[in-house]
Amino acid sequence: MRDYIEDFLNYLRIQRNYSNNTEINYLIDIEDFDAYLNKNKIKFTNLNYREISMYTKYLKEEKKLESSSISRHLSSLRSFYNYLLNQNVINSNPFKMVTGPKKALKLPNYMKYSEFETMIDTCGDDDLGVRNRAILELLFATGARIGELINVRISDIDFITREIKVLGKGNKERICYFNEHAKDSLQNYINSSRWNLLKNKTSEYLFINHIGTKLTDRGVRTIIDNLIKKSSLNAKITPHTFRHTFATMLLNEGCDLKSVQELLGHVNLSTTSIYTHITNDRIKDIYLHTHPRSKK
């Protein structure tokens, strides 16, 4: 099975243009399954529905995985076995008719505007503070993923139209828009602090770390964690919280779901529709507080 795993990962990388993170997730899921098969002396080419059900039970009861993680495992294995089928290694995909456990509805976490302002005020005026303010403004203005943000190049930004070209999941390109606040922060950072942080080095990437090289995913997470601690905010805020907040605020202000889907770069509208639960709760709250027959 090992040789087929390597071939499958090469297929994802070369033909499907999957990201390195996605590759790693597939590898972890498939290797977990391979270890399970070896331990239980099950041939990977001769699976039946009962054995897959037992594996699902193992993931839930022994590995203590949540429904979403189990579904991801099954999805990875379904893709892998589709590959084996296309390579004539097996005659049918045993995962084709297997569905994952029902996912619990998990509403996205979003922040208040006042919390965002507090983080901005905490940034400071030194070179790192100016950079951090630009990061916050851009995350808040665009709803970009953290992986998209750290890969933005200077050449991707158009200050006249206030547009940024980003490369999303599956190497799909899209345009993000930013406001005047973000524009001012970006220009302030690019024209002064970025040059200082580069320390006579050169880089095509927008955001630079303290040693003059490209800022990483972990670097942005650390920046946000430190700002939260420094500002004493009692809130769980991650880089992805900015994306959730972006979508929620647009919908609350009347933006249609299809437009939000395009701005976020979601392939399926169903992915974006999770945010309607939040906005529906807000509408219900407004109704209960404003309708004359709803008041006690």
pLDDT digits 0-9 by tens, 70-124: 888 999 999 999 999 999 999 999 988 787 776 655 667 888 899 999 999 999 9
CATH code for the domain in which residue 278 is found: 1.10.443.10
Claim: this prediction has a pTM higher than 0.85: no
Q: Is 42 helix (H, G, I), strand (E, B) or coil?
A: coil
Neighbours of 136 (CB within 10 A): 23
Domain hosting residue 246, numbered range: 113-285
**Co-location of 229 and 139 in the same domain:** yes
Residue 99 in any domain: the answer is no
**Co-location of 172 and 242 in the same domain:** yes
**Co-location of 8 and 117 in the same domain:** no
**Co-location of 120 and 171 in the same domain:** yes
Final residue of a domain: which of 48, 69, 86? 86
CATH code for the domain in which residue 36 is found: 1.10.150.130
Dist CA 43 CA 195 (whole Å): 58
Catalytic residues: 145, 169, 240, 243, 266, 275
Domain count, the chain: 2
Residue 191 in any domain: the answer is yes
Final residue of a domain: which of 86, 101, 121? 86
**Co-location of 187 and 133 in the same domain:** yes
**Co-location of 272 and 125 in the same domain:** yes
CA dihedral 52, 15, 145, 26 (to 10 degrees): 20
**Co-location of 257 and 129 in the same domain:** yes
Per the CB < 8 A criterion, the answer to whether 143 and 243 are in contact is yes
**Co-location of 6 and 79 in the same domain:** yes
Residue 102 in any domain: the answer is no
**Co-location of 173 and 40 in the same domain:** no
Tokens of 26: 């597939």
Residue 199 in any domain: the answer is yes
Burial degree of 281 (CB within 10 A; 0-12, 13-18, 19+): exposed
**Co-location of 264 and 118 in the same domain:** yes
108-167 pLDDT, tens digit per residue, is 788 889 999 999 999 999 999 999 999 999 999 999 999 999 999 999 999 999 999 998
Per the CB < 8 A criterion, the answer to whether 198 and 212 are in contact is yes
Residues recorded for the chain: 296
- Closest CA relative to residue 87, chosen from 175, 7, 13, 168: 7
Residue 293 in any domain: the answer is no
**Co-location of 28 and 82 in the same domain:** yes
Residue 105 in any domain: the answer is no
Tokens of 190: 């690019």
Residue 104 in any domain: the answer is no
Residue 183 in any domain: the answer is yes
**One-letter amino acid of 223:** I
**Co-location of 251 and 193 in the same domain:** yes
- Closest CA relative to residue 4, chosen from 86, 95, 74: 86
189-234 pLDDT, tens digit per residue, is 999 999 999 999 999 999 999 999 999 999 999 999 999 999 988 8
